[in-house]
Structure 1
Amino acid sequence: MKPYLFCLFCLLSYTSLSAAAPVDYAAPFTWTAEENSEQEAYIARFRTIAMQEMERTGVPASIKLAQGILESDSGRSYLARTAKNHFGIKCGSNWNGDKVYREDDDYDDRGRLTKSCFRQYRNADASYVAHSEFLRDPKKSFRYGFLFRLSPTDYKAWAHGLRKAGYATNPRYPELLMTLIERHNLHQYDVPGVIDPVDIEVPVEEAITGILNTNDVNYYISEAPVSLQHIARQVDLSVRRLLDYNEELVSENQTVAANERIYLQKKRRSYRGPEQYHAVAPGEDLYDIAQRYGLRIRNLARRNRLGEQADPATGERIKLRGWRVKTPPRLERDGGVDPQPPTPTAPAPVDRPDPVTPDEDGFLDMGEPISPNTPMPAPDPRPAVNPERPVVTPPVSVPESNPNQPQAVYHAVRAGETLYAISRRYGVSVEDIKRINALSGNTISVGQQLRIR
């Protein structure tokens, strides 16, 4: 029985993720001057990605930084140095990347300590992103889901919530987190806009500008030109995969223009949102529309009976999901509309629907809406909105009012959205949204109409 008692003791001595506890949880909450200095340097290096992940996912920056300090010993642990893994995240069954093996808390059926498999990242920022996704994993929602109904500025509730969810077995874990947060004033990073990014001394080449989502597909976007190789390092994907996922990327040495979407997964064959058509804006071509809605250009072109290089006329409707159109949209010709649209007497082409077969994700190519159970990163702050089917709409019946009075603004909750993400999108506080909508907590549901102003 002794080996099994020893196994039980070890399992109760470590956190659920950590490769080896870098801090003695039984010791008093004191750190040497050298350790304090290391912690300050760690915070200066990772506060940017922590704040960006907070805005993307709702995980408080203070909590993430404090956990990073504890789990990686301020970046000095073996895993942090060799695998860029700052949170001790293990491989799991779905991990296909590089791996590092190290003794931790795994034992064989005879009670002998065995080496555990840990994920190896190309850079530490990717580890910070993976930590957010670990907590947001729908398979773990029964454990961590309630955390995302807490305010991202309530670090105390998050610290105790992590302990309650079983992230760490040590009963002093919340106190350790809160002590670090208060010692280094980390909660200041939970308030967006407090610190000017210009004042943050982090090299631009090390900072992720943003990972967003449209049509249930993740994409990367930067406000400045950036190399494709840099993006690959940041998002922990190979350049080859990025070339496969983005039709207009042709070279490993290519520089991506500012605000250009680089998709991190295969784009979809059809649109899963509520809009069925898109009205072509001035200057848009078919590729622009495909990028905007996260669609593969060849499928969008086939659905509208157009070539992939087509330049549809302004105002024409492009079908985003469902069967092929009977008549293709008109095209631009030398700055004007095609002078020879189809004649009314011409026989209409036979409307043969696309084969209704599941795609590689198991979805039918009919543009069904996203499932409420589908997890999504934070929504694009610059969403594609169809003029005919806007996302933000006033109520059906709006009484006449003073024309000088601001019009009410409403928002339809989408899958994966939080009150915090919605408040950041519209520049209002969470408390104001809760007050206007008489919400007693932070729980919202897909399709719920929230009044913003």
Structure 2
Amino acid sequence: MLNRLYTLTFFPLLLLFLAPAVNLKAQQSETQLNYINRFKDIAVQEMERTGIPASIKLAQGLLESNAGQSVLARRANNHFGIKCGSDWQGDSFYREDDDYDANGQLIKSCFRSYKNSDASFIAHSEFLRDPRKAFRYGFLFRLDPMDYRNWAYGLKQAGYATNPAYPESLISLIERYQLFLYDNATAVDIDTPSDIVASGILDNNDVRYVVVTKGESLEDIAKRVDVSVRNLISYNEKITSSQQEIAEGERVYLQPKRNGYRGKEKYHTVATGETMFNISQEYAVKLNKLYKRNRMSQGEEPRVNEKIKLRGCKVKDAPKLRSEEDEFLNPESSAPLLPNGELDMEEPDEDTSQPSTPTRPVTPPPVIVQPEAPNNGGNRPDVPIIIVDPNRPPAPAPQPTKPTTTQPPVVSPTPTNPSPAPTTNPTNNPNGTPVYHTVVAGETLYGISRRYNITVDQLKSLNGLTENTIQAGMQLRVK
């Protein structure tokens, strides 16, 4: 009887104590899921930009900010506990942590304060990639980006955290919420104007910007982002008036650009049609700083394939420049142009007359290769493929005493009864010959589509692409 009375008394009390714990666990899980949903996109973007696994960044943010509930996260937008350091010039937030004065008394530590939480995620990447810390964290970037376990233990080995259970805590969060799935994800291609992307504030080189939508004026942008027109003009070199029309898809920066690029690239290779302003926009680096760093004067433009330094001290030798007599001056292409402005890819007729002495390099014809299945599968083409490679160096100038006709190199054996090689250009292709473009570093689907006068959707359809991410060296069919 006593045992029964004890049981009837004990279990209601036990349930009374357990109920709050169960509710608390459910609330914590929901808070963490909301945190993951909020920051998964910036984590994936930073993974693509810097190589830090999205799963690791999300787990670190969850752990170190208590899923965004910590004082630092709420009041300073600092999700990773990054302290000020001697070179920090931004806003600061002070609170007690683990710093002591000369007398051993606990004092308040200085933590960095960010304008928004996304800036904290970007700063975390730059903290790990800081060249001055390469001796500590450099080996992490040689690990497999899909190996979150080794990354977790590598952070502990590098001295990132003093907690001996830090790796296990990260791994537990990653596996509990399957954060490793984000290591296979792809970020939104912010260079492709779309209704979704163009409506938001984006980030490049720690500088905020927006993509101009169709018919949007500078005053419209100012109202949308709550930045004065005067400031927008001061932040963007090519905008000089509030009444100036801005093309759809252009970037308008909402903050001053940086003096140098903070990403992994140190140099940019000039592509066909690129200007110093284009490069300044792409990397969010001040145009005057680019000119000064590369020992160029305002208004000068570099030749195609020249290297433009993006950060650090000045170059020893300035890049070679375009000139009024230089065929590279044409902003559309280094190849000859038709009267309508399209690329002239026709083979020149054989000329038996005495050739004139060339004064500058000529652009070689495109490479003709035999049919092969595209990278994305599908049927084998029935005709040869012409590949337009923007990185091919100019052919050597022919000797004036020996007239020759340059023939395109044939990669595969010539068929028994070869037919005349098809000729085409990126925008005029009457014979239906497939035309391929070799992707160079920094190019996007949007930029390539504009160059060949097709849409991004058509470009993706031609190549069986389901995502907007492309890599240097890929061959994309453009016609």
Give the shorter-chain TM-score range.
0.5 to 0.7
2:86 aligns with: 93
2:471 to 426, 432, 447: 426
- Is the contact between residue 62 and residue 187 of structure 1 (CA under 8 Å) also seen in structure 2? yes
* 1:133 matched to 2:126: yes
- Is the contact between residue 280 and residue 290 of structure 2 (CA under 8 Å) also seen in structure 1? no
Query: How far, CA to CA, are the matches of 2:243 and 2:26 in structure 1?
Result: 44
Paired residue type of 1:296: L
Distance verdict in 2 for CA 1:323–1:295, change over 3 Å: farther
- Is the contact between residue 48 and residue 207 of structure 1 (CA under 8 Å) also seen in structure 2? no
Query: How far, CA to CA, are the matches of 2:224 and 2:157 in structure 1?
Result: 38
**Cα shift at 1:156:** 0.5
Distance verdict in 2 for CA 1:285–1:69, change over 3 Å: closer
1:18 aligns with: none
**Cα shift at 1:171:** 1.3
Alignment root-mean-square deviation, CA: 5.6
Q: Deviations over 1:147-203 (max 9, x none)?
A: 001111111010000011011111111110010011111110000249999xxxxx9
Q: Deviations over 1:256-299 (max 9, x none)?
A: 8525375731379xxx8586x876x4xx7885576569683798
2:61 aligns with: 68
Query: How far, CA to CA, are the matches of 1:37 and 1:425 in structure 2?
Result: 35
**Cα shift at 1:92:** 0.8
Q: Which 5+ residue runs of structure 2 have no aligned equivalent?
A: 1-23, 191-195, 309-317, 331-338, 342-388, 396-408, 416-434, 442-468, 475-479
* 1:49 matched to 2:49: no
Structure 1 counterpart SS, 2:251 = coil
* 1:188 matched to 2:199: no
1:81 to 74, 77, 80: 74
**Cα shift at 1:253:** 12
Matches within 5 A, 1:155-166: 155-166=148-159
Distance verdict in 2 for CA 1:85–1:289, change over 3 Å: closer
Structure 1 counterpart SS, 2:88 = coil
Matches within 5 A, 1:88-237: 88-193=81-186, 209=202, 211=204, 225=213, 227=221
**Cα shift at 1:37:** 1.0
**Cα shift at 1:33:** 1.6
Query: How far, CA to CA, are the matches of 2:279 and 2:295 in structure 1?
Result: 13
Query: How far, CA to CA, are the matches of 1:143 and 1:319 in structure 2?
Result: 30
**Cα shift at 1:231:** 7.9
* 1:260 matched to 2:251: yes
Query: How far, CA to CA, are the matches of 1:51 and 1:151 in structure 2?
Result: 16
Paired residue type of 1:73: N
1:40 to 23, 30, 33: 33
- Is the contact between residue 232 and residue 239 of structure 1 (CA under 8 Å) also seen in structure 2? no
**Cα shift at 1:93:** 1.1
Query: How far, CA to CA, are the matches of 1:410 and 1:336 in structure 2?
Result: 25
Distance verdict in 2 for CA 1:140–1:228, change over 3 Å: farther
Structure 2 counterpart SS, 1:426 = coil
Matches within 5 A, 1:310-389: 321-322=318-319, 388=393
**Cα shift at 1:112:** 0.4
Q: Which 5+ residue runs of structure 1 have no aligned equivalent?
A: 1-30, 198-202, 213-217, 338-383, 391-397, 413-423, 430-453
Distance verdict in 2 for CA 1:323–1:104, change over 3 Å: same
Query: How far, CA to CA, are the matches of 2:130 and 2:204 in structure 1?
Result: 16
Residues paired across the two proteins, number: 311
* 1:58 matched to 2:48: no
- Is the contact between residue 90 and residue 118 of structure 1 (CA under 8 Å) also seen in structure 2? yes
**Cα shift at 1:143:** 0.7
Query: How far, CA to CA, are the matches of 1:184 and 1:116 in structure 2?
Result: 33
- Is the contact between residue 39 and residue 74 of structure 1 (CA under 8 Å) also seen in structure 2? yes
**Cα shift at 1:241:** 8.3
Q: Which has the higher contact order (CA 8 A, sep 6+)?
A: 1
Paired residue type of 1:72: S
Q: Deviations over 1:395-438 (max 9, x none)?
A: xxx9842579x99x8999xxxxxxxxxxx643999xxxxxxxxx
Paired residue type of 1:35: Q
**Cα shift at 1:36:** 0.9
Matches within 5 A, 1:281-320: 281=273, 287-288=277-278, 291=281, 296=287
Query: How far, CA to CA, are the matches of 2:121 and 2:163 in structure 1?
Result: 22
2:412 aligns with: 401
Q: Deviations over 1:202-230 (max 9, x none)?
A: x9699764536xxxxx8767666494798
Query: How far, CA to CA, are the matches of 2:155 and 2:305 in structure 1?
Result: 49
Distance verdict in 2 for CA 1:190–1:298, change over 3 Å: closer
Paired residue type of 2:471: Y
Q: Deviations over 1:86-114 (max 9, x none)?
A: 11111111111111110000001110001
Query: How far, CA to CA, are the matches of 1:195 and 1:258 in structure 2?
Result: 15
Structure 1 counterpart SS, 2:98 = strand
Query: How far, CA to CA, are the matches of 2:115 and 2:208 in structure 1?
Result: 17
Query: How far, CA to CA, are the matches of 2:287 and 2:97 in structure 1?
Result: 44
Query: How far, CA to CA, are the matches of 1:253 and 1:76 in structure 2?
Result: 44
Query: How far, CA to CA, are the matches of 2:277 and 2:26 in structure 1?
Result: 56
